[in-house]
Structure 1
Amino acid sequence: MKKVAYLASRVTIPGSMIRRTDAFEHDYMMDALRPAFAARGMEIVDVCWDDPKADWSSFDAALIGTTWDYWDRLEEFVATLERIGKLTQLHNPARLVRWNSRKTYLRELETKGARLIPTLWLDHCGEAEAKAAFDQLGADTLVFKRQVGAGAKDQHKLSRGEPVPEMPHAMMAQPFLPMIQKEGELSFIFIDGNLSHALVKRAQPGDYRIQSSYGGREEVIHPTPEDLAAAHAILGALDEIPLYGRVDMLRGDDGGLLLMELEVIEPYLYPKEGPELGARLAAGVARRLGTS
């Protein structure tokens, strides 16, 4: 039987004393993957990416799963992935992870046709830089995000004149778009370049963050051909199609979609909203292992 590692973290692995409040999403993923992989003669096992006892050569493949602490240990994380990739098949590959780990990748996608929210890149974001950003972007409310980060960690929504919190990381600033509260954020989950499912993620009333840890909720959608084409074009800008990817988008004032994120490291893939996800991922891994 082929054995596949699902890379988790100490903040998501079952039984951890420091488990995140949204780690139930890890459980949802494993519940979807285990039977689907077993049906193809594979066993999938969740392992912490930084487990010093892990024998990566004992696995036929490894999937990056819920490694939801990497952003504070980026170089260690990427170095570990590079080591894993030399010992077994790794998806997605470490070179793609390194590129995707810093949100400046969005600038490269923009040169290839992606439509972005206007963005100011601030490698140093002190009070002066933050205050100047309002005039530079021509907006009275901005969202400041870490260039290396996820899950709205250390993210700030500020209006002109409000106190500026300490932001010790390299940041990106964007105008706040009310559409996030009106329609929500659209997510398109692709396996091997093909749409698995799509959903809209909405914040709870009074908030703008759509993550489950902030009370966000999800609803399955059936995208229009135009919306699907916009999302698919983002993947098409890559040099090679990854095993999995999630394209997060927000509708602009003209009705077209703007790219928020292309997540190809450790995105939650919403198996509850996509009941075929497990089978699709298992089939993709089986093809790569030559057992399909």
Structure 2
Amino acid sequence: MAAARPRLLYVTDLAYPARGRRYGDEDVFLTSRLREEADLALCHPRDAAALLDAFDAVVVRNSGPVLAHQEAYEAFRDRAVRHGTPVYNPLHGRADMAGKQYLLDLFAEGHPVIPTVDSAADLHLLPEADAYVVKPKLGADSLGLAIVPADRLPDLADGRTLVQPRIDFAHEISFYYVDHDFQYALYAPDPERRWELTPYQPTVSELEFAQGFIDWNTLDHGIQRVDACRAPDGGLLLVELEDLNPYLSLDALDEPVRDAFVDALKRSLRHFLATTG
């Protein structure tokens, strides 16, 4: 008798509007491939808490910024933890999944991140710049982001915002991982068109840079994206470590690379279900 197929609840907002990106198309593709080995249903993030009990595990993918459904997300997390429902990515991520505090912590520990502080008392730790970026600690997708001169910072650095120097970077590079394994990299040659990505072949030192943040995040399973910028001195600085629902830009990949990513995801989910079920 054939073994029962796992039942997966796949959380996504197929209608989420994103400039230059089609979240829905990516999840339609991924679910079409995951159905090859699991019984699967899609739901909006607002419905996840009410539905998760009927499934063996929950996969959170392109569900949009949590700010848009904060209460529903917290209810989902609480119910999943209370009922012991496995969630992929696991809910103990230390990066964006837990807010932006990690940028402050990594900077304070001397890691190669964009200098970041959140209080007027720490403004002296930032390098001098023509302008500064101020954004809410709980922000996402540039919501609430402002670019201001230095003389406005003392009033804005109130513990609820992040303050960073505005860096004239050459381009951004994103490194994509399944579990702790590198899959591919993409970059945006034009900083003003960050959504237009093309494949990038990272160097050994660049992979070591990205791997360091993956190792720091202690997630045994899951999809993560390391976003970095090329600083004026040629080095890389971390912009974001996305461990909740990173968009994957699969449409920018050649078919063999895309297929290899899907195969890696399937292996990861199989192992995740075997160790958490």
Distance 1:160 1:107 in 2: 19
SS of the residue 1:29 aligns to: helix
Q: CA deviation at 1:176?
A: 1.1
- 1:254 is matched with which residue? 233
Name structure 2 gaps, 5 residues minimum: none
Is 164-173 or 141-150 further displaced after alignment? 164-173
Distance 1:113 1:133 in 2: 16
Q: In the alignment, is the contact (CA less than 8 A) between 2:60 and 2:89 conserved in 1?
A: yes
Name structure 1 gaps, 5 residues minimum: 123-128, 211-215
- 2:245 is matched with which residue? 266
Q: CA deviation at 1:290?
A: 2.9
- 2:63 is matched with which residue? 67
Give deviations 1:144-178, integer Å, cap 9, x for gaps.
Answer: 1221122111111234579x999999211111111
Give the direction of change, closer, same or farther, for the CA distance of 1:233–1:113 in structure 2 (3 Å limit).
Answer: farther
SS of the residue 2:114 aligns to: coil
Give the direction of change, closer, same or farther, for the CA distance of 1:134–1:203 in structure 2 (3 Å limit).
Answer: farther
Which AA in structure 2 matches 1:83?
Answer: R
Is 242-251 or 89-98 further displaced after alignment? 89-98
- 1:286 is matched with which residue? 270
Give the % identical residues: 22
Which AA in structure 2 matches 1:56?
Answer: L
Give deviations 1:79-135, integer Å, cap 9, x for gaps.
Answer: 42231243521012223278733211123334665212222214xxxxxx6xx9699
Show the 5 A alignment for 1:86-235. 86-96=83-93, 100-110=97-107, 114-122=111-119, 137-159=127-149, 170-179=160-169, 182=170, 184-203=171-190, 207=192, 210=194, 216-235=195-214
CA RMSD of aligned residues (A): 3.3
Q: CA deviation at 1:236?
A: 0.9
Give the direction of change, closer, same or farther, for the CA distance of 1:242–1:252 in structure 2 (3 Å limit).
Answer: farther
Q: In the alignment, is the contact (CA less than 8 A) between 2:210 and 2:226 conserved in 1?
A: yes
Q: CA deviation at 1:67?
A: 2.4
Which AA in structure 2 matches 1:5?
Answer: L
Match for residue 56 of structure 1 among 29, 52, 59: 52
Distance 1:111 1:167 in 2: 16
Distance 1:62 1:262 in 2: 21
Q: In the alignment, is the contact (CA less than 8 A) between 1:137 and 1:174 conserved in 2?
A: no
Give deviations 1:195-237, integer Å, cap 9, x for gaps.
Answer: 1111013556xx4x72xxxxx3111101111101100011111
Give deviations 1:5-56, integer Å, cap 9, x for gaps.
Answer: 2212xxx334xxxx424496322322331232123x2133321122178421
Give the direction of change, closer, same or farther, for the CA distance of 1:144–1:48 in structure 2 (3 Å limit).
Answer: same
SS of the residue 1:265 aligns to: coil
SS of the residue 1:96 aligns to: coil
Which AA in structure 2 matches 1:114?
Answer: H
Which AA in structure 2 matches 1:246?
Answer: R
Alignment length (residue pairs): 264
Distance 2:51 2:9 in 1: 10
The answer to whether the aligner puts 1:13 opposite 2:11 as a matched pair is: no
